[in-house]
Amino acid sequence: EPEVTQTPSHQVTQMGQEVILRCVPISNHLYFYWYRQILGQKVEFLVSFYNNEISEKSEIFDDQFSVERPDGSNFTLKIRSTKLEDSAMYFCASSGGAAEAFFGQGTRLTVV
């Protein structure tokens, strides 16, 4: 069964460092998303991406964040200068045009 894959599963970084979280969406999907979840609590929307551009972004997704689809398979989230409060589980998701989205297993980001 096709699935969304995310790497790495766990990333530890120093405050102020740049991190790139990687995702491989389901191959024929066209709509991509990033979400985050802090301490197993509410799932928060960050950004949606379609046709090589951002469709929508939340207030969380400030200038420190960026997304890119550098080739036909990867979808990345970059945080330029990490802060302690960026520590969270980050989920990538993709949708093929049906209503539901499918999520990856997540990357646990720990900023120290």
Partner 1 sequence: AQSVAQPEDQVNVAEGNPLTVKCTYSVSGNPYLFWYVQYPNRGLQFLLKYITGDNLVKGSYGFEAEFNKSQTSFHLKKPSALVSDSALYFCAVRDGWSSASKIIFGSGTRLSIRP
Q: Which residues bind partner 1 (CB under 8 A)?
A: 4, 30-31, 33, 40-43, 45, 48, 50, 55-56, 58, 91, 93, 95-106
Least distance CB 81 / partner 1 (angstroms): 25
* Nearest residue (CB) to partner 1, 19 versus 93: 93
Least distance CB 16 / partner 1 (angstroms): 27
For tokens 């689809």, the residue is 69
- Phi and psi (nearest 5°) for 23? -145, 140
Cα dihedral: 15, 16, 17, 20 (round 10): 90
Least distance CB 23 / partner 1 (angstroms): 11
Q: How far apart are CA 106 and CA 93, in angstroms?
A: 10
36 contacts 50 by C-beta, under 8 angstroms? no
* Nearest residue (CB) to partner 1, 15 versus 98: 98
